[in-house]
């Protein structure tokens, strides 16, 4: 996949691009308001990063501790090495209990594992219950954002989807009316479900329990009615102690949507009486990231989406342009870590402006990782040969005084004489969609020699 080609498709509709950009910027501004209201904000981020560093360094012990504690509370713990193992474990659990109707709350892990199509293939109905996820599920689309799954859609498009699937009034697009329709439709699904699947925001090694955060209450409804709750989590979601939740619950919603805390922050520590509670611990490449000193901080991610909301590239290219379950800056690190061949273009979907690093609540050095990934990919020869050769020649030129001066002189002399169609040809990406500045007559060096700095004039 090539991010730039996908982005071209999105930006072809300039009005929609502007609308998408503004919708996400609005969320970023809300985040700023919340962050600025807390004097300890930066100290919280530092603390969160330090806790995550400890987790990444001691993951094996913490997982064992979590398992022991969870089992003591009657939670059944399963281990999955790969996405396929995860899907098989979930299917076996459902099948052996005769379950055919499942409700699921938002879980980027099950998206990553493609659990829905797998279960559907085996005759199980899976209903995504987060409103945004239900919208994209009905449209047979993936989510375009990890917190705002339907941020790419206008309300008229949602209205049309609901008319087709839920029988709402033709042309209706009022969010209140559409949400009400979804509420009615999903209540039926909640009440009919035989099992509920959730993701996990945080698991606590000390207590053997876990926390699920939502604003809609869909996770809680989905697991408080049927007798079986299956929670699927990446192994990096662990926190050492209950008190660490104080730090993370304060950071998550403020960073994600600019709320002081999520509406529902639910702690699950045992099955309901007579019911079952299962946790599936999934590796799927995470232990490899933990072993990679250059990128292991990517495991800090708490999936708040702040880096997407602030990213000038994400806001103007849309989530689908990344073709990855997690898009945006963090997705541009996680994608190529998993599949460097497929996602080689994502580290280039970045202006290196550093805004993502500034807002990340767990201090992942995102833009540094993206920059260093470009080097890694070049070393692995996973970037186009034109870029590789171009970079090598440019490097040589910039590394040698005389070559640099000669190139500058030639460019200043030649470029103004070249016909427009040559300067703005396909070979010159810098001339795309913008006018180049006029070539100066003299280099800085020459100007400096003619007019040296004069202390008296200052």
Site for other proteins in 53-72 (CB under 8 A): 53-54, 56-61, 63-64
The least distance separating other proteins from the CB of residue 193, rounded to whole angstroms, comes to: 10
Please give the residues from 31 up to 50 whose contact with other proteins meets the rule CB under 8 A: 38-40, 43-44, 46-47, 50
Q: What pairs with residue 229 in β-bridges?
A: 196, 277
The least distance separating other proteins from the CB of residue 82, rounded to whole angstroms, comes to: 8
Residue of 180, 352, 414, 439 that binds other proteins (CB under 8 A): 180
Task: Name the token pair of 293.
Answer: 């000193």
The least distance separating other proteins from the CB of residue 376, rounded to whole angstroms, comes to: 19
Please give the residues from 319 up to 378 whose contact with other proteins meets the rule CB under 8 A: none
Please give the residues from 97 up to 156 whose contact with other proteins meets the rule CB under 8 A: 129-132, 135, 148-151, 153-155
Alpha-carbon distance of 294 to 304, in angstroms, equals: 22
The least distance separating other proteins from the CB of residue 259, rounded to whole angstroms, comes to: 7
For residue 228, the SS3 value is strand
The least distance separating other proteins from the CB of residue 100, rounded to whole angstroms, comes to: 17
The least distance separating other proteins from the CB of residue 56, rounded to whole angstroms, comes to: 8
Alpha-carbon distance of 195 to 331, in angstroms, equals: 30
Q: Among 62, 107, 93, 72, which residue's Cα sits nearest to residue 270?
A: 72
Give CA angle at 46 (40, 49), nearest 5°.
140
Contacting range for other proteins; rule: CB under 8 A; set: 288-296, 366-374, 393-401, 446-454? 288-296
The least distance separating other proteins from the CB of residue 336, rounded to whole angstroms, comes to: 20
Task: Name the token pair of 317.
Answer: 């290219």
Please give the residues from 155 up to 174 whose contact with other proteins meets the rule CB under 8 A: 155, 158
| Interaction between residue 178 and other proteins (CB under 8 A) | yes
Contact string (CB under 8 A) for other proteins, positions 80-99, x = contact: xx---x--xx----------
Please give the residues from 216 up to 255 whose contact with other proteins meets the rule CB under 8 A: 216-218, 220-221, 224-225, 235, 240, 242-243, 245-247, 249-250
Cβ-based nearer residue to other proteins, 139 or 154: 154
33, burial (CB in 10 Å: exposed 0-12, middle 13-18, buried 19+): exposed
Residue of 287, 372, 376, 407 that binds other proteins (CB under 8 A): 287
Q: What pairs with residue 78 in β-bridges?
A: 280
Alpha-carbon distance of 423 to 436, in angstroms, equals: 9
CB atoms within 10 A of CB 184: 9
Alpha-carbon distance of 115 to 133, in angstroms, equals: 14
77, burial (CB in 10 Å: exposed 0-12, middle 13-18, buried 19+): middle
Cβ-based nearer residue to other proteins, 8 or 40: 40
Residue of 5, 29, 291, 439 that binds other proteins (CB under 8 A): 291
Q: What pairs with residue 238 in β-bridges?
A: 203
Strands (E), 37-98: 76-80
């Amino acid at each position: 996949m090539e991010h730039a080609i996908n982005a071209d498709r999105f930006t072809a509709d300039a009005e929609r691009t502007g609308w998408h950009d503004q919708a996400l910027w609005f969320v970023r501004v809300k985040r700023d308001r919340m962050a600025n209201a807390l004097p300890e904000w930066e100290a919280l981020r530092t603390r969160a990063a330090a806790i995550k560093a400890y987790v990444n360094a001691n993951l094996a012990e913490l997982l064992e501790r979590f398992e022991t504690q969870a089992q003591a509370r009657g939670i059944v713990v399963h281990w999955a090495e790969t996405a396929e193992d995860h899907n098989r474990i979930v299917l076996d659990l459902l099948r052996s209990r005769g379950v055919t109707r499942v409700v699921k709350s938002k879980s980027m892990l099950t998206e990553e594992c493609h659990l829905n199509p797998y279960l559907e293939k085996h005759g199980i109905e899976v209903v995504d219950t987060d409103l945004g996820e239900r919208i994209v599920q009905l449209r047979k689309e993936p989510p375009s954002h990890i917190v705002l799954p339907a941020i790419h859609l206008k309300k008229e498009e949602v209205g049309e989807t609901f008319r087709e699937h839920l029988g709402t009034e033709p042309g209706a697009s009022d969010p209140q009316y559409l949400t009400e329709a979804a509420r009615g439709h999903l209540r039926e699904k909640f009440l009919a479900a035989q099992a509920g699947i959730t993701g996990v925001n945080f698991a606590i090694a000390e207590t053997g329990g876990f926390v699920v955060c939502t604003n809609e209450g869909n996770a809680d409804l989905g697991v408080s009615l049927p007798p079986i709750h299956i929670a699927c989590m990446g192994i990096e979601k662990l926190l050492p102690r209950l008190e660490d939740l104080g730090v993370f619950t304060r950071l998550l919603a403020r960073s994600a949507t600019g709320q002081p805390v999520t509406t529902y922050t639910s702690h699950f520590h045992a099955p309901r009486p007579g019911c079952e509670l299962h946790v599936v611990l999934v590796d799927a490449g995470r232990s490899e990231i933990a072993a990679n000193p250059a990128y292991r901080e990517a495991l800090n991610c708490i999936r708040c989406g702040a880096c997407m909301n602030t990213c000038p590239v994400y806001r103007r290219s849309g989530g689908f342009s990344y073709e990855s379950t997690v898009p945006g800056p963090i997705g541009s690190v996680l994608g190529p870590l998993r599949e460097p061949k497929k996602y080689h273009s994502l580290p280039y979907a970045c202006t290196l402006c550093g805004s993502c690093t500034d807002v990340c609540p767990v201090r992942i050095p995102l833009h540094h990782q993206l920059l260093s990934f470009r080097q890694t990919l070049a070393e692995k020869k996973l970037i186009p040969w034109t870029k590789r050769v171009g970079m090598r020649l440019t490097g040589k030129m910039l590394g040698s005084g005389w070559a640099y001066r000669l190139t500058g002189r030639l460019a200043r002399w030649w470029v103004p004489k070249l016909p427009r169609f040559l300067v703005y040809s396909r070979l010159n990406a810098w001339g795309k969609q913008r006018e180049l500045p006029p070539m100066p007559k003299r280099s800085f060096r020459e100007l400096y020699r003619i007019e040296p700095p004069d202390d008296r004039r200052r």
